[in-house]
């Protein structure tokens, strides 16, 4: 049987190992390792004259350098994909000639190196087979906790496709396997199987000539043979192949779980793997998946593709190495994606101020760490509008407003889970705050947004208002309910405006009055008459101006009313339209000591009102027609 004689160019590679002290050991239940930086100097030469060298220009043509840390019992061949059991693997950075590997402590190891002409990624190399130019191994070594540096030599071997017969790579017929003329090279690492014991080599040696070093006497029966049962020198070893079969599955473990709950719809997760391979996602995370589909040895950061809001339970990953060994299923710790906060909307948003500034107030929200106030000059506020962020109190003053301009606002609570639901919209019309004495929006209470003349509620209850929102109006039972606003809201015979919205089905009752049991001179009264129409009376030493609606308004619907004293009398506006004017009786001189009430005649304690009242405003000036129409058109 013929034998091939193979030439290996041998290069001594000096490889200092720099150990990072303090670079993290793996998790306690995994083997302790240290991060080792290998500096690969491929231009060092051996002092041995029997070892050939390769020029720096030759080695510079090899652009990918695969470095493996393997158990010391591994047998080196040029088939780099045989070493699935490597503890660590990496590509040398050709710029600084460094590679970083996780080396187990107190373990007999070797370093294997494989050089490739083309530029490959680690995945390119492990997912396919690429042609090796040079390969080699170091001596056995181990590192401990006290090891700070270590120098190793690596002997590089030229793969058969890289051999040049001119250096001795040819056989005795003066040509290598590709027909290159080998001349008369002197071999330093040859197959010196004696022909007398092996049937002659491929040059016809009879076994009596030549005494070679580095004899390959390995019998394939001890595991040195390839899958055909014949080793490189022709020794018959049966079919055993102890070093090339990988049956070890990757071991994967969680390193950093997904923060939960998270407001990030593309959360990240980190796991470790003892081998490289392809990642398979399972459970509810499988549909979204991740751009990361291949694992490396060590820590792997996964950034999930966009996940919808919800809980992710029993998400899994597995890693399958290039030999087809699949890891056990790793369950990703359950997590919740919550990009839309569950914080409720702040309620009772109110606005008060001047023609150039407004102060917004709202009820605090439990678990809110701050608030965001959104605003614009058109209705329909959402989170894309102008915003004041990081408000830590339940109020905010917006300054430098333009007089005569309308502003709209909404507020939302914020915490680590995100921004909550936006509140109902609040409108602020700068010029409508000129001359305002009191504004009772009845959003949850009977307070004056101007901060004085707050109402004291007796029996009346919160109800739906003109905008059909809960807790934005007061309801009165017609028996004994009322609200007392105290005295002094209006006084004198100057101009004034009273604006209010009512909803009732009753008759013969008092809705609103400035009058009490101390007197009635200098008063006004708003009544529902027996026929359901509305009448506004004024009195000072006799009746002054009074106006009555032309139709019944006790129909169970909301009606917007405005009463204006100006010139020599007064006017009634119904739903923004002038209803009646009376200049015959003259203006009333209101008495400041009289109290203002809603809900009944609190002088005679009768005529209690049955129905609802919303958005009471009192001005010390006469509003214009356009201002009254604006107030009718908005629902605040």
Establish whether domains 252-337 and 350-433 are of one fold: yes
Cis amide prior to 53 (ω within 30 degrees): no
The contacts of residue 192 (CB under 8 Å, 6+ apart) are 210, 211, 212, 213, 214, 215, 216
CATH architecture of 436-633: Sandwich (2.60)
Domain spans, the chain: 11-162, 252-337, 350-433, 436-633
**Contact between 486 and 613 (Cβ < 8 Å):** no
Model pLDDT, residue 556:
97
DSSP 110: E
Residue among 107, 109, 87, 90 nearest 98 (CA): 90
Model pLDDT, residue 1:
39
**Cβ neighbour number for residue 377 with a 10 Å cutoff:** 11
Model pLDDT, residue 16:
54
Torsions phi, psi of 62, nearest 5? Answer: -100, 110
The four Cα atoms 333, 338, 339, 343 give a dihedral, to 10 degrees, of: -150
Q: Which residues in the chain come in under a pLDDT of 70? A: 1-31, 41-54, 84-85, 160-244, 341, 636
Q: Which whole-number Å values give the CA distances from 377 to 20, 304, 384, 426, 584, in the listed order?
A: 61, 40, 13, 11, 42
Model pLDDT, residue 458:
97
DSSP 91: E
Model pLDDT, residue 590:
96
Q: What is the chain's alpha carbon radius of gyration, rounded to the nearest angstrom?
A: 46
Torsions phi, psi of 249, nearest 5? Answer: -80, 150
* Strand, helix or coil for residue 283: helix
The contacts of residue 131 (CB under 8 Å, 6+ apart) are 116, 117, 159, 161
Model pLDDT, residue 85:
54
Q: Which whole-number Å values give the CA distances from 570 to 62, 370, 386, 422, 493, in the listed order?
A: 100, 48, 42, 41, 12
CATH topology of domain 252-337: Immunoglobulin-like (2.60.40)
The CATH label, of 2.60.40.10, 3.30.1330.10, 1.10.10.10, 1.10.3720.10, for the domain at 350-433 is 2.60.40.10
**Contact between 292 and 266 (Cβ < 8 Å):** no
């Amino acid at each position: 049987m013929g034998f091939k004689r193979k030439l290996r160019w041998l290069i001594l590679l000096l490889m200092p190992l720099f150990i990072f002290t303090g670079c993290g050991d793996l998790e306690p239940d995994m083997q302790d390792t240290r991060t080792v930086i290998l500096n690969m100097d491929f231009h060092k030469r051996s002092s041995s004259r029997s070892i050939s060298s390769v020029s720096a220009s030759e080695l510079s043509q090899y652009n990918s350098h695969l470095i493996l840390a393997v158990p010391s019992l591994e047998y080196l061949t040029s088939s780099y994909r045989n070493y699935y059991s490597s503890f660590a693997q990496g590509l040398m950075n050709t710029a600084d000639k460094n590679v970083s590997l996780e080396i187990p402590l107190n373990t007999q190891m070797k370093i294997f190196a494989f050089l490739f002409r083309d530029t490959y990624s680690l995945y390119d190399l492990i997912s396919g087979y690429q042609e090796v130019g040079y390969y080699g191994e170091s001596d056995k070594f181990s590192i401990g906790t006290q090891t700070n540096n270590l120098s190793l030599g690596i002997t590089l071997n030229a793969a058969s496709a890289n051999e040049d017969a001119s250096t001795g790579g040819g056989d005795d017929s003066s040509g290598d396997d590709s027909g290159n003329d080998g001349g008369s090279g002197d071999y330093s690492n040859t197959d010196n199987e004696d022909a007398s014991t092996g049937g002659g080599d491929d040059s016809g040696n009879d076994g009596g000539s030549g005494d070679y070093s580095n004899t390959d006497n390995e019998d394939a029966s001890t595991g040195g043979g390839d899958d055909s049962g014949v080793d490189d020198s022709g020794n018959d070893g049966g079919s055993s192949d102890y070093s090339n079969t990988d049956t070890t599955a990757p071991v994967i473990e969680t390193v950093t779980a997904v923060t939960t709950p998270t407001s990030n719809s593309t959360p990240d997760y980190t796991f470790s793997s003892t081998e490289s391979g392809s990642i398979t996602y399972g459970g509810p995370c499988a549909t979204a998946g991740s751009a990361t589909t291949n694992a490396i040895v060590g820590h792997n950061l996964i950034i999930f593709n966009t996940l919808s809001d919800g809980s992710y339970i029993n998400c899994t990953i597995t890693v399958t190495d290039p030999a087809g060994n699949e890891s056990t299923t790793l369950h990703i710790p359950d997590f919740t994606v919550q990009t839309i906060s569950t914080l409720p909307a702040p309620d009772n948003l109110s606005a008060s101020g001047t023609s150039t500034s407004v102060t917004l107030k709202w009820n605090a929200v439990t678990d809110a760490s701050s608030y965001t106030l959104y605003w614009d000059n058109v209705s329909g506020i959402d989170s894309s509008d102008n915003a004041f962020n990081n408000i830590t109190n339940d109020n905010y003053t917006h300054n430098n407003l333009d007089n005569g301009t309308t502003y709209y606002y909404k507020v939302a609570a914020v915490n680590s889970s995100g921004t909550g639901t936006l509140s109902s919209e609040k409108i602020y019309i700068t010029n409508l705050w000129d001359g305002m004495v009191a504004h009772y929006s009845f959003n949850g209470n009977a307070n004056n947004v101007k901060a004085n003349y707050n109402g004291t509620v007796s029996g009346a209850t919160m109800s739906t208002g003109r905008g059909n929102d809960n807790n934005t109006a007061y309801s009165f039972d017609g028996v004994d309910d009322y609200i007392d606003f105290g005295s002094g809201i209006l006084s004198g015979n100057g101009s004034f405006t009273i604006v209010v919205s009512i909803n009732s089905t009753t008759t013969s009752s008092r809705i609103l009055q400035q009058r009490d049991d101390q007197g009635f001179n200098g008063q006004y009264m708003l009544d529902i008459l027996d026929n359901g129409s509305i009448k506004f009376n004024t009195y000072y030493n006799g009746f002054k101006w009074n106006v009555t609606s032309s139709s019944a308004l006790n129909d169970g619907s909301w009606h917007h009313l405005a009463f204006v004293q100006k010139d020599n009398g007064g006017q009634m506006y119904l739903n923004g339209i002038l209803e009646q004017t009376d200049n015959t009786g003259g203006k009333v001189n209101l008495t400041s000591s009289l109290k203002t009430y809603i809900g009944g005649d609190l002088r005679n304690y009768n005529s209690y009102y049955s129905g609802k009242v919303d958005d009471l405003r009192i001005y010390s000036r006469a509003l214009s027609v356009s201002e009254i129409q604006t107030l009718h058109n908005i629902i605040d």
